Amino acid sequence: MSTDPYTMLKYLMDTLNGPDGCPWDREQTHQSLRQYMIEEAYEVVDAIDAEDDAELQEELGDVLLQVFFHSDIARRRGVFDVDDVARGLYEKMVRRHPHIFGAECLGSADEVLQQWTEIKAAEKDSRQSVLDGIPRQLPSLARAYKLQKRAARVGFDWEQASETLDKIEEEIAELRSAMDSEEYDGIEAELGDLLFSVVNCARKLGVEPETALNRTNEKFSRRFRQVEKGMGVDGKLTLQELDQLWNEAKQKERKP
């Protein structure tokens, strides 16, 4: 057998999904594997955030396995195979980089991004809305961010970041009103509007909301673990005592 990694992975999938292959692998479908693709992508991000090169190499391999697995399922259905995937990717990247593979000349990353956007739009000319193509299964913060960026392309946007703060305050007032009514659907709707407005503020400030929230999640987790250490065996403390432990954890992080 060839020692070329690409050929080795094709052989691996042929064997696993062959007549004498793994019963579990042979039963999988695109739908049954979808969650694994999502999980593997998040594990890659975790490895990147941890700056762990060994872990990143392994997790990228797991994502690559998903690519080969889905491609082999499609091959067995007679739709496409991994060669078609690779060929299509190559052709698309060449087409979207005319400044590299053609005669055009661009001088900045912003110009490249603008050209990429225009070429991509031309390829997707069957789309009826500027919002078409944004995956519905994206995490909600990321989807809100992309929806807002797309809408901004046609001028539907705040001029200043400060205006988004005014909108946040407006949404907070509407949420308070909904809370007074104690009507669940209204509360849910207004809370969603508030979150959407916060994402808009992040976008105008040049902040990725997923990254910002994840950073806060990590900070909370780190500090709360410190609180737990001070809770004792029974863990029965008043809210005031817990708040004191929280403040101590914050102070520890701030010390040089």
Pair 21, 77 in one domain: yes
Q: Say if 99 falls within a structural domain.
A: no
pLDDT of 255 reads 63
DSSP 14-38: HHHTSTTS-HHHHH--HHHHHHHHH
pLDDT at 253: 83
Same structural domain for residues 172 and 239?
Answer: no
- Residue 156 CA: distances (Å) to CA of 36, 103, 147, 150, 190: 36, 34, 11, 9, 21
Identify which of 67, 105, 102 has the alpha carbon closest to the alpha carbon of residue 88.
Answer: 67
Same domain? 144 vs 199: yes
Residue ranges, the chain, pLDDT below 50 = none
Question: Same domain, yes or no, for 203 and 224?
Answer: no
Domain that includes residue 180, residue range: 131-207
Neighbours of 145 (CB within 10 A): 22
Which pLDDT tens digit goes with each residue over 182-238?
999 999 999 999 999 999 999 999 999 988 998 999 999 999 999 988 887 677 888
Is the residue at 201 inside a domain? yes
Whether residue 135 lies inside any domain: the answer is yes
Q: Is 87 inside a domain boundary?
A: no
Q: Output the pTM of the full model.
A: 0.68
Look-up: residue for tokens 């064997």? 15
Helices 30-49/53-76 angle, 10° precision = 160
The CATH number of the domain holding residue 59 is 1.10.287.1080
Residue 25, Cβ density class (10 Å: 0-12 exposed, 13-18 middle, ≥19 buried): middle
What domain count does the chain have?
3
* Residue 174 within a domain: yes
